Amino acid sequence: MKSFKQLVSTCLIVCITAAGFPLAAQARIVATEEITAPAQASTSRDTVNRFLARDDVRQAILGQGVSPQAAAERVAAMSDSEVAQLAGRIEQAPAGGDVLGILFTVFIVLLVTDIMGLTKVFPFTRSVR
């Protein structure tokens, strides 16, 4: 029992003495981008992978002669900055085409049918009939 007490007291002396030594510490300002970069990288990769998983995109990829698995492997091999740039392009791309162009086309079709007398949508038009 005496040797056990001696061993414990020796360990405590070493630990308390070591705790008194000064430790080197570094302090610096950490930018928000440094903290959020890993989360943004995984989000960007998820965005690109979801885009590649869509059926219409798969068909377009196959039409170009590239297998979807090869495309996924290429995305996995890209750097974080390349994936973020690609995800930005995907998010900026219009989902259903140019919405203003579609609205303008519908307006012109309704205007022409109103003038021809087939419909009566706009009160400011006069029918030719």
The C-alpha atoms of residue 117 and residue 124 are separated, in whole angstroms, by 13
Whether 54 contacts 90, CB under 8 Å: no
What are the pLDDT digits (tens) for 19-67? 888 878 888 888 887 777 777 778 888 888 888 888 888 888 787 777 8
What are the pLDDT digits (tens) for 64-73? 777 888 888 8
From the list 82, 75, 86, the residue with the least C-alpha distance to 67 is 75
Residue 49: count other Cβ atoms within 10 Å of its Cβ.
Answer: 15
The C-alpha atoms of residue 127 and residue 118 are separated, in whole angstroms, by 8
The C-alpha atoms of residue 98 and residue 87 are separated, in whole angstroms, by 20
